[in-house]
Structure 1
Amino acid sequence: MGKPLKLGIIGCGAIIGQYLASFRRLPDLELVAVADLDLKRAQAVAEQYDGVRAVTVEELLAADDVELVVNLTIPAAHAEVALKVIAAGKGVYGEKPLAATTAEARQVLDAAGEAGVAVGCAPDTVLGTGIQTARKAIDDGLIGAPISATATMATPGHERWHPNPDFYYQPGGGPLLDMGPYYVTALVTLLGPVVSVMGAASHTRSERTIGSGPRQGEKVPVNIDSHVTGVLTHASGALSTLVMSFDAVKSKSPNIEIHGELGSLIVPDPNHFDGDVQLFTLDAGGWETLPVSAGYLDSGRGFGIADLAATPPGREPRAGGTLAYHVLEVMESVLESARTGSSVRIESTVERPEGVELAALAQQADALQAR
């Protein structure tokens, strides 16, 4: 308490730029070192950030001045890297998903519990004003008891813009495991934990063509289902319908809609931190845009790490490993159901993370530490 949490990053791919932009705005976080299997990539990052050194992965794990490691490796490596970080006695915050499988994710949580270190995981977009304003509207009873939700993500595929999209089409990737964490985490934040799922999936193409960068025109194999639909039954009784696609071209539907006894909500894109929340009630003549009423103001990727840093020891951070595990089990179970044609019961559960009152992060950190 009272001093910045010192961070190291393993993995210097495309997403790191968004984290660096946030770290520059978060005085409670201090980035000290970056590492990558390709040391030149780490060096390129270090040159952009004053006071940060580029090191090997082994050197970062051994560094005395690194307290928590941000794991930005590819999904297939998330668990392996996290276990090495935990074995080095450091906390870990990973990009989503927590691991490629729930079996690997359980190893991570068990190891962290034994070592007494913290585990956090993206997405932290749910801490922003968009999802949190929608959550407060639900909690305030503006739509009455929630009945159902729909969540839709439709894109023709990341290979159209990503220069190295291979991992999106291998186990641990795919539309559900790649983009689903944003949507399922938002649904759990809004409606609570999931108790069972049904799923269906399809695989329309065996290869994809890279559309940009030095590998433009190169073919990559597809070894995952590229269109996934699921029905989630929440412990509350609410039903969520999930559509995640790398095959569809575009959807005009809202990213997430929540329907209740008294009204409906349009929830902004859960891959973003802000956005308008719209409400239509039984007595309304049209859609009303709600004022921003909850969430971290002006937030971005990495704010979940600052939230973790402000969480008292022994308490689960809002973007914590337990939530990430539950979300991963939900997604894995949707894929299992798609393979078997049977409903799958969710074994894990999680408490709905505490809501974020409307404030800048520094104000929220003071409130967290005061409790």
Structure 2
Amino acid sequence: MGEQVTNVGIVGTGVISGTYLEHLAKLPGVQVVAVADLDLSRAQAIADQNPGVRALTSEDLFADPDVDIVLNLTIPAAHAPVHQAALQAGKHVYGEKPLAVDRAEAEPLLKLAAANNLRIGCAPDTVLGTGTQTARVALDRGDIGVPTAASAYFVTPGHELWHPAPEFYYQQGGGPLLDMGPYYITSLVTLLGPVKRVTGRAGRSQEQRKVHTGPRAGETFPVDVPTHVTGVLEHESGALTTVLMSFDVWAARLPRIEIYGTEGSLSVPDPNGFDGTVEIATATNRDWTQLPVAGGYAGAGRGVGVADMARALRNNEPHRADGALAYHVLDVMESLLESAAQDQSVDVASTVQRPAAVPLGASPELA
């Protein structure tokens, strides 16, 4: 009996599609059979480089009976419309983060999928790698006692230093929280569970920024969103996470994520990567010590969440990087910004179950 394979059609053939194509080709149980783009010639170029892949219009890809999952790699503003079109065509969907630009766009997608027995998956799937999953094992077996608090930091002086057209990072839907927050908050929910309340503060250091590289170097552009967001997430478990996401910091010595418990502390690697070193310091040994890999998809890359979803579909099991988790993360981020604007704590309306842990030695076909 041959291996069961789930067929994937990609919409959006920008730079990130190359990474997905590279990693999906190595994963069991999935194969890319079609690509689509507003620029059909760009889709055709991808198809020419990948035998067995056809270039289609988006409409034809949605209608293609060979496509089981639509992988949505369009720009964030197009995430919700493409998801909706694919779901209406009877396809399961998986997309890049964020699920949509806001809750108002995202909530109807979840309802549409549920009403039609379809699934939504969403990046980041970095949390399925050995970094976050090893930390998850350490927490679940009680290595640091009861987790009581955490910290999460992402800081940079701004993407305009390297990006030749950085304006979208500083427009509605951008900013450090919505740009990088999905990696950090998805990891925090995976480790500590859902968030029930947030208190936030936000500011911006400049009203104008300057392009530093490329043909438009020297041009200025307006800043429309907060560029420094900080606050506290209150998890349903009682743990309190301090978050700081900023485009206003030139240099800092800060951890990516640390978890603090009654019997020790855990250092979690960069959630924008799949692996990395997990370290522990305890009440009896306060020197940081590296933990051996204890869980997660080894050697994972972008697309492992798609393969995890495909396996779950075939086995009628829950998938890990799912729409409910992505919606909760979006809800937490929006609530944090609302808290800052309203000068008061905000209750997070949604909740979600922690996704199942990924066992040591798992492959997307078996986990």
C-alpha deviations, 1:263-318, integer Å up to 9, x for none?
00110000000000000001105110000010000001110010001114654311
Q: Aligned partners of 2:218 and 2:60: how far apart in 1?
A: 37
| Match status 1:6 vs 2:11 | no
Q: Aligned partners of 1:77 and 1:127: how far apart in 2?
A: 26
In the alignment, which residue of structure 2 is the partner of 1:182?
183
Are 2:28 and 2:307, in contact at CA under 8 Å, matched by a contact in 1? no
Q: Aligned partners of 1:14 and 1:154: how far apart in 2?
A: 24
Q: Aligned partners of 1:255 and 1:157: how far apart in 2?
A: 17
C-alpha deviations, 1:90-141, integer Å up to 9, x for none?
0110111111111111011001111211100000000000000001101110
- Unpaired segments ≥5 residues, structure 2: none
What one-letter code is carried by the residue in structure 2 that aligns with 1:340? Q
Are 1:76 and 1:171, in contact at CA under 8 Å, matched by a contact in 2? no
| Match status 1:326 vs 2:335 | no
What one-letter code is carried by the residue in structure 2 that aligns with 1:53? R
| Match status 1:339 vs 2:333 | no
In the alignment, which residue of structure 2 is the partner of 1:349?
351
- Local SS of the residue matching 2:251: coil
In the alignment, which residue of structure 2 is the partner of 1:96?
97
Q: Aligned partners of 1:203 and 1:57: how far apart in 2?
A: 39
Identity %: 56
Are 2:231 and 2:244, in contact at CA under 8 Å, matched by a contact in 1? yes
What one-letter code is carried by the residue in structure 2 that aligns with 1:304? G
- Unpaired segments ≥5 residues, structure 1: none
- Local SS of the residue matching 2:49: coil
Q: Aligned partners of 1:151 and 1:88: how far apart in 2?
A: 39
Are 1:153 and 1:251, in contact at CA under 8 Å, matched by a contact in 2? no
Note the C-alpha offset of 1:217: 4.4
Q: Aligned partners of 2:240 and 2:323: how far apart in 1?
A: 24
Note the C-alpha offset of 1:54: 2.2
Are 1:10 and 1:57, in contact at CA under 8 Å, matched by a contact in 2? yes
Between stretches 161-170 and 136-145, larger displacement belongs to 161-170
Q: Aligned partners of 1:45 and 1:256: how far apart in 2?
A: 37
Between stretches 153-162 and 278-287, larger displacement belongs to 153-162
In the alignment, which residue of structure 2 is the partner of 1:366?
366
User: Structure 1 162/67 Cα, relative in aligned 2: closer, same or farther at 3 Å?
Assistant: farther
Between stretches 146-155 and 61-70, larger displacement belongs to 61-70
Q: Aligned partners of 2:113 and 2:348: how far apart in 1?
A: 22
| Match status 1:79 vs 2:84 | no
User: Structure 1 280/366 Cα, relative in aligned 2: closer, same or farther at 3 Å?
Assistant: same
In the alignment, which residue of structure 2 is the partner of 1:34?
35
Note the C-alpha offset of 1:366: 2.6
Note the C-alpha offset of 1:218: 4.4
Note the C-alpha offset of 1:338: 0.8
Note the C-alpha offset of 1:347: 1.0
What one-letter code is carried by the residue in structure 1 that aligns with 2:222? P
Between stretches 303-312 and 328-337, larger displacement belongs to 303-312
Are 1:74 and 1:167, in contact at CA under 8 Å, matched by a contact in 2? no
In the alignment, which residue of structure 1 is the partner of 2:318?
316
TM-score normalised by the chain length of structure 1? 0.94
TM-score normalised by the chain length of structure 2? 0.95
- Local SS of the residue matching 1:299: coil
What one-letter code is carried by the residue in structure 2 that aligns with 1:366? L
- Local SS of the residue matching 2:199: strand
In the alignment, which residue of structure 2 is the partner of 1:170?
171
User: Structure 1 256/71 Cα, relative in aligned 2: closer, same or farther at 3 Å?
Assistant: same
Within-5 A mapping of 1:1-371: 2-213=3-214, 215-312=216-313, 315-362=317-364, 365-367=365-367
What one-letter code is carried by the residue in structure 2 that aligns with 1:338? A
- Local SS of the residue matching 1:366: coil
Q: Aligned partners of 2:42 and 2:207: how far apart in 1?
A: 31
Q: Aligned partners of 1:166 and 1:8: how far apart in 2?
A: 30
RMSD over aligned Cα atoms: 1.7
Q: When the two structures are aligned, how many residues end up with a matched partner?
A: 365
Note the C-alpha offset of 1:203: 1.9
User: Structure 1 210/18 Cα, relative in aligned 2: closer, same or farther at 3 Å?
Assistant: farther
